[in-house]
Structure 1
Amino acid sequence: MTSILDSVDSRTNLVGENRLELLIFQLGTRQLFAINVFKVREVLKVPRLNQMPGSHPKICGVATIRGHSIPVIDMRQSIGLKPLDKDQESNLIVTEYNRSVQAFLVGKVVYIKNMGWDEIMEPPSTGRSNYLTAITKLEHENEHKLVEIIDVEKVLAEIISYDIGISDGVLDDDLTNHLVGQKVLVVDDSSTARKQVTETLGQLGIECIEKKNGQQALNLLKSWCDEGKDPRNEILLMITDAEMPEMDGYKLTSEVRADSRMHDLYIALNTSLSGSFNEAMVEKVGCNRFVSKFQPDLLVDVVQTRMREALSK
């Protein structure tokens, strides 16, 4: 399995094509779960775990992998299920989110599936959907199975406290009055991520318009254009996630750039994917800025940079 995940180059070709690769796994039952392969570093059998006194109850230990100590999170517990039975097959999925590395304890790892984002749907608003960003369906063992795509950002936010405080010296006093009342379009399928952006920018007096995926955002932008409105007069900028059901942030950006009515809209890509990867993708699809998620100071910097640009014209 590790060898399948070694090459990033093949996956970057999916950018702009509204496609993704899902790592499909089980959690001790026949039910299928998934996370995006872009977030995965490697998959391996569970090594010896060292206990970490005083750690969060969902952290089941620390693994030493390639000389680094990595916290291991019990995925079953994280989404409200009982811990995985010790006699069941188990694996570690080592991931990178928001500039941090962690591993998730899961059951059987099934395979990787290449899919279109248009095959990914919003989850029903019941039960375990609180921990899902999306669902999809695929054929597995001659059956059509539902796959639940886990909202890892929500899982991590319940273990790691993300601060929305803005550091001293970040705010530009000359821009304070100009920012109050500005509107920003925030596009993200994770309610946790949207909340972090809206609460951060709310401290500046900025109103956020929230959309759950790229298609919803594109529909709004096109509706403004159809009404004769310039989106640049409706919002200061758009902040979009990369991975979303129906239409991802890369495809959304490509669609905006291809429409002469809004091609110069300021777009910032706000994602938990690795910075080095996204810097290349920002250039490829035409975003103005990239900022890693859960970094309030950088988020404020993006907004202030855009405000200065708008005032200079």
Structure 2
Amino acid sequence: MSRILASVDQRTQLVGENRLELLMFKLGSRHTFAINVFKVKEVITVPMMHQMPGSHGNLKGVTNYRGKSIPIIDLRKSIKLPDSTDIVNQNVIITEYNRTVQGFLIGDVINIVNTSWGNIQAPPTTVGKNNYLTAITQIEINGNKELVEIIDVEKVLAEIIEYDTYISEEILDEDVLKHLNGQTVLVVDDSSTARLQIRDTLKQLGINIIERSDGLRALNLLREWANSGKQVTDQILMMFTDAEMPEMDGYRLTAEVRQDERMSDLFIALNTSLSGSFNEAMVKKVGCNRFISKFQPDLLVDVVQQRMREKLQESK
């Protein structure tokens, strides 16, 4: 299985081209599920696990992975699928989200598929707000087109470890805070959990939030303002964008904004669960102003204060 992921570093060129690769797998049902390969460190057979008394019901146990104790999460149970005895070949996907490593217990691994974010669609509204999907797509598997459901891993993790929105007092700049009240920020993310965390953090500063669930919808909003003669930077202080989103990823969104002189000076912060030097390189390539890992309230506040300082300086 490690051979499947051996060339993952070479796949980084896909990002920025509005492309991605999905690791597809089963959970003991007829459905096919997937997560982005860039979140995956390794796929292993089920390791020896130790159960922790009093732990969350979705935790299968804790195992030693490369010298560190990591949780193993029952993904089927986490997304509320009914119990099944059909899972014969169990595996564990080792992932890294938001600076933490964890494993997800799954069934059979199918393969990795290369596709475009343009082929990835938001789930239909009829599935309701409590679903565990960020997107869906159709992929050809064994000669047949099949629906593939992309799991909202951030929501799964948030139900085990509640994300904090507490802001440290020492990070707050009183001279800047009074100017932030009433400002508006555009938040672009396909995960409702991630949007909620930003909204709950920044509303403490009196900041208004406009939300969009993918890069294309965000770009259409910005273009609508520009086409009507509005100055985009008068409408919003800045934009936070995720990297991975249906229709258009955050890298392409940033590149499109930078290429349009009507909005090219918009302050853009990439806010993503992907981490490491790869993202920092992509930020420089497409022209983001800042890169931060998700679910860090103090960093969110630091970014908006930085932008507010710059805006105050520009107005002098």
Same fold flag (TM > 0.5): yes
The answer to whether residue 53 in structure 2 is matched with residue 53 in structure 1 is: yes
Residues 178-220 of structure 1: CA distance to partner in whole angstroms, max 9, x if unpaired? 0001000000000000000011000000001000000000000
Aligned to 1:100: 100
Given residue 60 of structure 1, which amino acid in structure 2 is its aligned partner?
Answer: K
Given residue 58 of structure 1, which amino acid in structure 2 is its aligned partner?
Answer: N
Which stretch of structure 1 is more off in the superposition, 12-21 or 82-91? 82-91
Q: Distance in 1 between matches of 2:309 and 2:283?
A: 21
Aligned to 2:272: 271
TM-fit CA distance, 1:113: 0.5
TM-fit CA distance, 1:284: 1.3
Contact 1:84 1:107 in 2 (8 A): no
Aligned to 2:136: 135
Which stretch of structure 1 is more off in the superposition, 174-183 or 137-146? 137-146
Number of aligned pairs? 313
Structure 1 segments of 4+ aligned residues over 2 angstroms from their partners: 6-9, 82-87, 125-129
Q: Report the secondary structure of 1:228's partner residue.
A: coil
TM-fit CA distance, 1:161: 1.2
Aligned to 1:64: 64
TM-fit CA distance, 1:83: 4.4
Q: Distance in 2 between matches of 1:286 and 1:87?
A: 45
The answer to whether residue 248 in structure 2 is matched with residue 247 in structure 1 is: yes
Q: Map 1:97-176 to 2 at 5 A.
A: 97-127=97-127, 130-176=131-177
Q: Distance in 2 between matches of 1:268 and 1:131?
A: 26
Q: Report the secondary structure of 1:48's partner residue.
A: coil
Contact 1:76 1:84 in 2 (8 A): no
Contact 1:60 1:72 in 2 (8 A): yes
**Any gaps of 5 or more consecutive residues in structure 2?**
none
Instruction: Name the TM-score, length of structure 1 as normaliser.
Output: 0.97
TM-fit CA distance, 1:8: 4.0
Q: Distance in 1 between matches of 2:278 and 2:72?
A: 24
Given residue 285 of structure 2, which amino acid in structure 1 is its aligned partner?
Answer: K
Once superposed, what is the RMSD of the aligned Cα atoms? 1.4
- In structure 2, do the counterparts of structure 1 residues 295 and 100 end up closer, same or farther at CA, with 3 Å as the change threshold? same
TM-fit CA distance, 1:127: 4.3
Aligned to 1:303: 304
Instruction: Name the TM-score, length of structure 2 as normaliser.
Output: 0.96
- In structure 2, do the counterparts of structure 1 residues 83 and 105 end up closer, same or farther at CA, with 3 Å as the change threshold? farther
Q: Report the secondary structure of 2:248's partner residue.
A: coil
Residues 47-93 of structure 1: CA distance to partner in whole angstroms, max 9, x if unpaired? 11111111100000112222221100000001001345386210000
Aligned to 1:25: 25
Contact 2:29 2:86 in 1 (8 A): no
Q: Distance in 2 between matches of 1:223 and 1:188?
A: 19
Given residue 255 of structure 1, which amino acid in structure 2 is its aligned partner?
Answer: E
**Any gaps of 5 or more consecutive residues in structure 1?**
none
TM-fit CA distance, 1:96: 0.3
Contact 2:188 2:240 in 1 (8 A): yes
Contact 2:91 2:109 in 1 (8 A): yes
Q: Distance in 2 between matches of 1:280 and 1:82?
A: 42
Identity of aligned residues (%): 64
TM-fit CA distance, 1:230: 1.2
